[in-house]
Amino acid sequence: MIDAIVEAIRLAVTKIPDDVVLALRKAYEREESEIARFNLGNILRAIEIGKTESIPVCQDTGTLTFFVRAGIKNPLLGEVKEAIIQATKRATLEVPLRPNAVDVFTGKNSGDNTGKGVPIIHWELVEGDSIEIALLPKGGGSENCSALAMLTPGEDWEGVKRFVVGHVKACGGKPCPPVVLGIGVGGSADYALLLAKKTLLRRLGERNPDERIAELEEELLEEINALGVGPMGMGGRTTALDVKIEVAHRHPASFPLGLIVQCWANRRAFLRVKPDGRVEVWQ
Protein backbone atom coordinates (compact mmCIF):
# COMPACT_ATOMS: atom_id res chain seq x y z
CA MET A 1 0.00 0.00 0.00
CA ILE A 2 2.84 2.39 0.85
CA ASP A 3 4.52 1.71 -2.51
CA ALA A 4 1.27 2.44 -4.34
CA ILE A 5 0.67 5.70 -2.48
CA VAL A 6 4.22 6.83 -3.28
CA GLU A 7 3.51 5.98 -6.94
CA ALA A 8 0.28 8.02 -6.82
CA ILE A 9 2.06 11.02 -5.29
CA ARG A 10 4.75 10.83 -7.98
CA LEU A 11 2.10 10.58 -10.70
CA ALA A 12 0.17 13.54 -9.32
CA VAL A 13 3.11 15.95 -9.14
CA THR A 14 4.95 14.93 -12.31
CA LYS A 15 2.06 14.40 -14.76
CA ILE A 16 -0.76 16.90 -15.19
CA PRO A 17 -4.04 15.07 -16.01
CA ASP A 18 -4.93 14.80 -19.69
CA ASP A 19 -8.15 16.81 -19.32
CA VAL A 20 -6.21 19.73 -17.81
CA VAL A 21 -3.57 19.61 -20.56
CA LEU A 22 -6.32 19.62 -23.20
CA ALA A 23 -7.96 22.66 -21.60
CA LEU A 24 -4.63 24.52 -21.52
CA ARG A 25 -3.94 23.70 -25.17
CA LYS A 26 -7.39 24.97 -26.18
CA ALA A 27 -6.73 28.14 -24.19
CA TYR A 28 -3.42 28.58 -26.03
CA GLU A 29 -5.07 28.13 -29.42
CA ARG A 30 -7.81 30.70 -28.81
CA GLU A 31 -5.60 33.33 -27.19
CA GLU A 32 -4.99 36.52 -29.16
CA SER A 33 -2.66 38.22 -26.69
CA GLU A 34 1.03 37.63 -27.37
CA ILE A 35 1.97 37.65 -23.66
CA ALA A 36 -0.90 35.27 -22.83
CA ARG A 37 0.26 32.82 -25.51
CA PHE A 38 3.83 33.14 -24.22
CA ASN A 39 2.75 32.25 -20.67
CA LEU A 40 0.54 29.36 -21.76
CA GLY A 41 3.33 28.08 -23.98
CA ASN A 42 5.73 28.04 -21.04
CA ILE A 43 3.15 26.21 -18.93
CA LEU A 44 2.71 23.55 -21.60
CA ARG A 45 6.49 23.15 -21.92
CA ALA A 46 6.82 22.72 -18.16
CA ILE A 47 4.13 20.04 -18.26
CA GLU A 48 5.96 18.15 -21.02
CA ILE A 49 9.29 18.32 -19.17
CA GLY A 50 7.71 17.06 -15.95
CA LYS A 51 6.12 14.13 -17.78
CA THR A 52 9.14 13.07 -19.84
CA GLU A 53 11.74 13.53 -17.09
CA SER A 54 9.48 12.39 -14.21
CA ILE A 55 10.15 15.52 -12.15
CA PRO A 56 7.64 17.82 -10.40
CA VAL A 57 5.95 20.15 -12.87
CA CYS A 58 5.98 22.96 -10.30
CA GLN A 59 8.58 23.54 -7.58
CA ASP A 60 5.74 24.02 -5.06
CA THR A 61 4.54 20.43 -4.68
CA GLY A 62 1.99 21.72 -2.19
CA THR A 63 0.29 20.38 0.88
CA LEU A 64 -0.86 16.80 0.32
CA THR A 65 -4.55 16.27 0.96
CA PHE A 66 -6.10 12.79 0.89
CA PHE A 67 -9.82 12.01 0.60
CA VAL A 68 -10.45 8.45 1.81
CA ARG A 69 -13.73 6.64 1.05
CA ALA A 70 -13.26 3.69 3.34
CA GLY A 71 -15.28 0.52 2.88
CA ILE A 72 -16.00 -0.64 6.44
CA LYS A 73 -15.48 -4.32 5.54
CA ASN A 74 -11.94 -3.87 4.20
CA PRO A 75 -9.53 -5.66 6.59
CA LEU A 76 -6.75 -3.15 5.83
CA LEU A 77 -8.70 -0.10 6.98
CA GLY A 78 -6.68 0.29 10.17
CA GLU A 79 -3.43 0.52 8.19
CA VAL A 80 -4.40 3.33 5.82
CA LYS A 81 -3.47 6.36 7.94
CA GLU A 82 0.02 5.13 8.79
CA ALA A 83 0.55 4.03 5.16
CA ILE A 84 -0.29 7.57 3.98
CA ILE A 85 2.12 9.13 6.48
CA GLN A 86 4.98 6.77 5.61
CA ALA A 87 4.35 7.20 1.88
CA THR A 88 4.45 10.97 2.26
CA LYS A 89 7.84 10.75 4.01
CA ARG A 90 9.22 8.45 1.32
CA ALA A 91 7.84 10.52 -1.55
CA THR A 92 9.45 13.66 -0.11
CA LEU A 93 12.85 12.01 -0.52
CA GLU A 94 12.27 9.92 -3.64
CA VAL A 95 10.18 12.08 -6.01
CA PRO A 96 11.37 14.51 -4.52
CA LEU A 97 8.80 16.83 -2.95
CA ARG A 98 9.57 20.24 -1.52
CA PRO A 99 9.22 20.10 2.28
CA ASN A 100 6.14 22.22 2.98
CA ALA A 101 5.23 21.49 6.62
CA VAL A 102 6.32 24.11 9.16
CA ASP A 103 5.49 24.55 12.85
CA VAL A 104 3.05 27.45 13.30
CA PHE A 105 4.96 28.79 16.34
CA THR A 106 8.63 28.20 15.53
CA GLY A 107 8.46 28.14 11.72
CA LYS A 108 10.67 25.04 11.79
CA ASN A 109 10.21 22.77 8.78
CA SER A 110 9.66 19.08 9.56
CA GLY A 111 11.57 18.25 6.38
CA ASP A 112 9.28 15.41 5.28
CA ASN A 113 5.83 16.99 4.68
CA THR A 114 4.41 15.42 7.85
CA GLY A 115 3.61 16.98 11.20
CA LYS A 116 0.68 17.99 13.35
CA GLY A 117 -2.41 17.53 11.18
CA VAL A 118 -0.48 16.92 7.95
CA PRO A 119 -0.73 15.30 5.55
CA ILE A 120 -4.41 16.24 5.63
CA ILE A 121 -6.75 13.23 5.55
CA HIS A 122 -10.54 13.46 5.15
CA TRP A 123 -12.43 10.26 5.99
CA GLU A 124 -15.77 8.98 4.72
CA LEU A 125 -17.01 5.57 5.85
CA VAL A 126 -19.02 3.70 3.24
CA GLU A 127 -20.47 0.23 2.77
CA GLY A 128 -18.37 -2.40 1.02
CA ASP A 129 -14.84 -3.77 1.16
CA SER A 130 -12.99 -1.35 -1.13
CA ILE A 131 -10.97 1.69 -0.02
CA GLU A 132 -10.73 4.55 -2.50
CA ILE A 133 -8.17 7.30 -1.94
CA ALA A 134 -8.07 10.57 -3.87
CA LEU A 135 -4.89 12.64 -3.65
CA LEU A 136 -4.83 16.41 -4.15
CA PRO A 137 -1.49 18.26 -3.91
CA LYS A 138 -2.37 21.94 -3.32
CA GLY A 139 0.12 24.78 -3.78
CA GLY A 140 0.38 27.62 -1.28
CA GLY A 141 -0.10 30.50 -3.72
CA SER A 142 -3.50 29.35 -4.92
CA GLU A 143 -4.54 28.24 -1.43
CA ASN A 144 -3.91 31.77 -0.18
CA CYS A 145 -6.70 32.99 -2.48
CA SER A 146 -9.28 30.62 -1.03
CA ALA A 147 -12.10 32.28 0.88
CA LEU A 148 -15.20 31.80 3.01
CA ALA A 149 -18.22 34.08 2.77
CA MET A 150 -21.22 33.82 5.06
CA LEU A 151 -23.82 35.41 2.82
CA THR A 152 -27.27 36.40 3.97
CA PRO A 153 -30.05 34.16 2.62
CA GLY A 154 -31.50 37.12 0.75
CA GLU A 155 -28.37 37.40 -1.41
CA ASP A 156 -29.01 33.95 -2.83
CA TRP A 157 -27.18 32.90 -6.03
CA GLU A 158 -26.70 36.44 -7.28
CA GLY A 159 -24.67 37.04 -4.14
CA VAL A 160 -22.63 33.91 -4.87
CA LYS A 161 -21.78 35.08 -8.37
CA ARG A 162 -20.99 38.61 -7.21
CA PHE A 163 -18.64 37.39 -4.47
CA VAL A 164 -16.83 34.82 -6.63
CA VAL A 165 -16.23 37.15 -9.59
CA GLY A 166 -15.13 40.00 -7.32
CA HIS A 167 -12.76 37.76 -5.38
CA VAL A 168 -11.13 36.30 -8.50
CA LYS A 169 -10.64 39.83 -9.85
CA ALA A 170 -9.06 40.97 -6.58
CA CYS A 171 -6.67 37.98 -6.53
CA GLY A 172 -5.43 38.77 -10.02
CA GLY A 173 -2.27 36.83 -10.83
CA LYS A 174 -1.56 35.64 -7.26
CA PRO A 175 -2.97 32.08 -7.68
CA CYS A 176 -1.09 31.48 -10.99
CA PRO A 177 -4.02 31.55 -13.41
CA PRO A 178 -5.61 30.13 -15.43
CA VAL A 179 -7.28 28.73 -12.34
CA VAL A 180 -9.84 26.06 -11.56
CA LEU A 181 -12.46 27.22 -9.07
CA GLY A 182 -14.13 24.92 -6.58
CA ILE A 183 -17.29 26.31 -4.96
CA GLY A 184 -19.25 24.81 -2.09
CA VAL A 185 -22.60 26.30 -1.14
CA GLY A 186 -24.66 25.41 1.92
CA GLY A 187 -24.04 23.19 4.92
CA SER A 188 -21.85 25.00 7.44
CA ALA A 189 -18.75 27.17 7.15
CA ASP A 190 -16.33 24.25 7.34
CA TYR A 191 -18.45 21.93 5.19
CA ALA A 192 -18.85 24.51 2.40
CA LEU A 193 -15.05 24.71 2.10
CA LEU A 194 -14.73 20.92 2.14
CA LEU A 195 -17.33 20.62 -0.63
CA ALA A 196 -15.42 23.23 -2.62
CA LYS A 197 -12.10 21.42 -2.33
CA LYS A 198 -13.61 18.05 -3.28
CA THR A 199 -14.95 19.51 -6.53
CA LEU A 200 -11.34 19.83 -7.75
CA LEU A 201 -11.25 16.05 -8.10
CA ARG A 202 -13.74 16.24 -10.98
CA ARG A 203 -12.46 16.27 -14.56
CA LEU A 204 -12.48 19.61 -16.36
CA GLY A 205 -15.56 20.04 -18.49
CA GLU A 206 -17.54 17.62 -16.35
CA ARG A 207 -20.72 19.42 -15.31
CA ASN A 208 -22.73 18.94 -12.16
CA PRO A 209 -25.60 16.51 -12.90
CA ASP A 210 -28.09 19.06 -11.55
CA GLU A 211 -28.94 21.21 -14.57
CA ARG A 212 -29.47 24.32 -12.42
CA ILE A 213 -25.98 24.02 -10.97
CA ALA A 214 -24.43 23.14 -14.33
CA GLU A 215 -25.89 26.35 -15.76
CA LEU A 216 -24.39 28.36 -12.90
CA GLU A 217 -20.98 26.76 -13.51
CA GLU A 218 -21.12 27.86 -17.15
CA GLU A 219 -22.30 31.37 -16.28
CA LEU A 220 -19.54 31.90 -13.74
CA LEU A 221 -16.86 30.55 -16.09
CA GLU A 222 -17.96 33.01 -18.77
CA GLU A 223 -18.06 35.97 -16.36
CA ILE A 224 -14.65 35.18 -14.87
CA ASN A 225 -13.00 34.84 -18.27
CA ALA A 226 -14.52 38.18 -19.25
CA LEU A 227 -12.42 39.83 -16.50
CA GLY A 228 -9.32 39.69 -18.69
CA VAL A 229 -6.96 38.74 -15.85
CA GLY A 230 -5.47 36.10 -18.11
CA PRO A 231 -2.61 33.59 -17.70
CA MET A 232 -0.33 34.54 -14.79
CA GLY A 233 -2.37 37.74 -14.35
CA MET A 234 -0.85 39.45 -17.40
CA GLY A 235 -4.00 39.72 -19.48
CA GLY A 236 -5.76 37.38 -21.86
CA ARG A 237 -8.97 35.54 -22.61
CA THR A 238 -8.50 32.65 -20.18
CA THR A 239 -8.54 33.44 -16.47
CA ALA A 240 -10.24 30.17 -15.46
CA LEU A 241 -10.16 26.73 -17.04
CA ASP A 242 -13.32 25.61 -15.25
CA VAL A 243 -15.73 26.24 -12.39
CA LYS A 244 -17.09 23.43 -10.22
CA ILE A 245 -19.98 23.75 -7.77
CA GLU A 246 -21.37 21.39 -5.14
CA VAL A 247 -24.22 22.14 -2.73
CA ALA A 248 -25.71 21.00 0.56
CA HIS A 249 -28.84 21.99 2.46
CA ARG A 250 -28.30 25.04 4.65
CA HIS A 251 -29.64 26.60 7.84
CA PRO A 252 -32.53 29.02 7.15
CA ALA A 253 -30.54 31.89 8.65
CA SER A 254 -27.25 31.43 6.78
CA PHE A 255 -25.89 30.97 3.26
CA PRO A 256 -22.32 29.64 3.49
CA LEU A 257 -20.08 29.95 0.45
CA GLY A 258 -16.70 28.22 0.32
CA LEU A 259 -14.34 29.13 -2.52
CA ILE A 260 -11.20 27.10 -3.24
CA VAL A 261 -8.88 28.44 -5.92
CA GLN A 262 -6.61 25.99 -7.72
CA CYS A 263 -3.71 27.05 -9.96
CA TRP A 264 -3.22 25.83 -13.54
CA ALA A 265 -1.35 22.82 -12.12
CA ASN A 266 -4.59 21.06 -11.21
CA ARG A 267 -2.87 17.92 -9.89
CA ARG A 268 -4.62 14.76 -8.70
CA ALA A 269 -4.34 10.98 -8.54
CA PHE A 270 -6.49 8.10 -7.28
CA LEU A 271 -6.01 4.69 -5.65
CA ARG A 272 -8.25 1.73 -4.90
CA VAL A 273 -7.24 -0.78 -2.21
CA LYS A 274 -8.79 -4.23 -2.60
CA PRO A 275 -9.51 -6.50 0.40
CA ASP A 276 -6.65 -8.81 -0.63
CA GLY A 277 -4.15 -5.92 -0.57
CA ARG A 278 -3.97 -5.30 -4.32
CA VAL A 279 -3.87 -1.59 -5.17
CA GLU A 280 -4.85 0.17 -8.41
CA VAL A 281 -3.47 3.64 -9.23
CA TRP A 282 -4.85 5.98 -11.90
CA GLN A 283 -5.31 9.63 -12.76
**pLDDT, tens only, 125-157:** 999 999 999 999 999 999 999 999 999 999 999
The model's pTM:
0.96
Residue 11 · residue 54 · CB < 8 Å: no
Residue 221 · residue 243 · CB < 8 Å: yes
10-residue mean pLDDT profile of the chain (283 residues): values are 97 98 98 97 98 97 98 95 98 98 98 98 96 97 98 96 98 98 98 98 97 98 98 97 98 98 98 94 96
Tens digit of pLDDT for each residue in 166-199?
Answer: 999 999 999 999 999 999 999 999 999 999 999 9
Residue 237 · residue 36 · CB < 8 Å: yes
What Å distances lie between residue 207 and 244, 245, 263, CA to CA?
7, 9, 19
